[in-house]
């Protein structure tokens, strides 16, 4: 007998497959993530079962709790260097143990496009800059395809420290770094924030949906803020170049996202 949780998961998988089919994706490589799923390492049903034991569904946070807090005047009285100085030799969370360098960000302070990835890679950590190595070379080509260079965009991370190989930042580590990202966003005040990775998209959009459900459209970032920003900022969730290197069939979807970003920037 199929359990309700299993039915929900099957329905979500079916919707995702239909969506991929509409993008022209017909097959999938046998990646490590799929291997983990097949061996039930992720145990998707355990989370729902545990929540029932702890008293049923969690209440959704109030609207004000979901909004990002901003100081509307911060951009006039602080610079990115001020924020970097405040971050210092950060040891506020366990990620300082796995990093060699803090990867704060790179690019012009008034960039129209802000790119945010989940966390630095090992290559980023060694080179002291965001999105380097093979993924960085692909990102440079992606930007060039829409008429931009790395020098024209600001690139940073949700978490500023390398979490270790095959690891991702934990919730408490993300929450520790989040205020610094928010200050970067307000000072830069970009036209578009392009998130490259599931954690960044889910965190900034307060969503539990998968990246494939979120990508392909703009979201109004200002509606998620408790203060007024100088201009309207939109978020475009998309796919990290490292994922595209492993799954070339996803490049078509990524290209659609880039074209939408290009059109948005051309209007401003």
The share of the chain scoring above pLDDT 90, in percent, equals 64
- Does residue 50 have a pLDDT over 90? no
Kindly report, residue by residue over 63-120, the tens digit of the pLDDT.
556 677 665 556 567 899 999 999 999 999 999 999 999 999 999 999 999 999 999 9
Give the residue from 153, 159, 105 showing the smallest Cα distance to 129: 105
Question: How would DSSP label each residue in 225-249?
Answer: BSS--SS--EEEEE--HHHHHH-GG
Question: Going along the chain, which residue ranges are E strands?
Answer: 113-117, 154-157, 192-196, 219-220, 234-238
The whole-angstrom distance between residue 213's C-alpha and the CA centroid of its chain comes to 13
| CATH 3.40.470.10 segments of the chain | 63-266
Cβ neighbours for 206, distance < 8 A, ≥ 6 positions apart: 61, 66, 224
For residue 181, count CB atoms less than 10 angstroms from its CB and return exposed for 0-12, middle for 13-18, buried for 19 or more: buried
Average pLDDT over residues 190-218: 95
Phi–psi pair at 238, nearest 5 degrees: -145, -170
Phi–psi pair at 106, nearest 5 degrees: -150, 135
Kindly report, residue by residue over 221-253, the tens digit of the pLDDT.
877 776 666 668 999 999 999 999 999 999 999
Torsion of the alpha carbons at 122, 123, 128 and 129, rounded to the nearest 10: -110
- Does residue 191 have a pLDDT over 70? yes
Kind and range of the H or E element at 180?
helix 171-188
For residue 165, count CB atoms less than 10 angstroms from its CB and return exposed for 0-12, middle for 13-18, buried for 19 or more: exposed
- CATH class belonging to 63-266: alpha beta
Phi–psi pair at 52, nearest 5 degrees: -70, -40
- Integer Cα distance of 106 and 117 in angstroms: 12
- Integer Cα distance of 162 and 164 in angstroms: 6
Kindly report, residue by residue over 162-189, the tens digit of the pLDDT.
999 989 999 999 999 999 999 999 899 9
54 vs 8, which has greater pLDDT?
8
- Integer Cα distance of 113 and 236 in angstroms: 10
Give the residue from 207, 118, 203 showing the smallest Cα distance to 155: 118
- Does residue 10 have a pLDDT over 80? no
């Amino acid at each position: 007998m199929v359990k309700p949780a299993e039915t929900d998961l099957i329905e979500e998988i079916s919707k995702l497959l239909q969506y991929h089919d509409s993008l022209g994706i017909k097959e999938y490589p046998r990646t490590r993530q799929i291997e983990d799923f097949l061996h039930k390492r992720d145990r998707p049903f355990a989370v729902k079962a545990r929540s029932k034991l702890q008293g049923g569904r969690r209440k959704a946070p109030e609207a004000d709790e979901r909004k990002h807090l901003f100081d509307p005047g911060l951009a006039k009285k602080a610079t990115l260097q001020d924020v970097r100085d405040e971050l210092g030799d950060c040891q506020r969370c366990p990620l300082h143990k796995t990093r060699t360098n803090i990867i704060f960000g790179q690019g012009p302070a008034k960039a129209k496009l802000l790119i945010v990835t989940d966390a630095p890679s090992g290559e980023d950590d060694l080179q002291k800059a965001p999105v380097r190595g093979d993924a960085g070379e692909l990102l440079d080509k992606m930007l060039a395809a829409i008429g931009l260079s790395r020098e024209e965009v600001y690139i940073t991370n949700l978490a500023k420290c390398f979490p270790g190989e095959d690891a991702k930042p934990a919730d408490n580590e993300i929450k520790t770094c989040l205020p610094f990202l928010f200050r970067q966003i307000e000072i830069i005040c970009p036209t578009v924030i392009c998130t490259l990775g599931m954690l960044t998209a889910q965190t900034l959009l307060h969503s539990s949906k998968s990246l494939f459900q979120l990508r392909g459209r703009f979201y109004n970032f200002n509606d998620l803020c408790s203060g007024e920003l100088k201009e309207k900022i939109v978020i475009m969730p998309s796919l990290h170049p490292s994922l595209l290197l492993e799954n070339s069939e996803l490049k078509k979807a990524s290209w659609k996202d880039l074209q939408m970003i290009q059109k948005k920037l051309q209007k401003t």
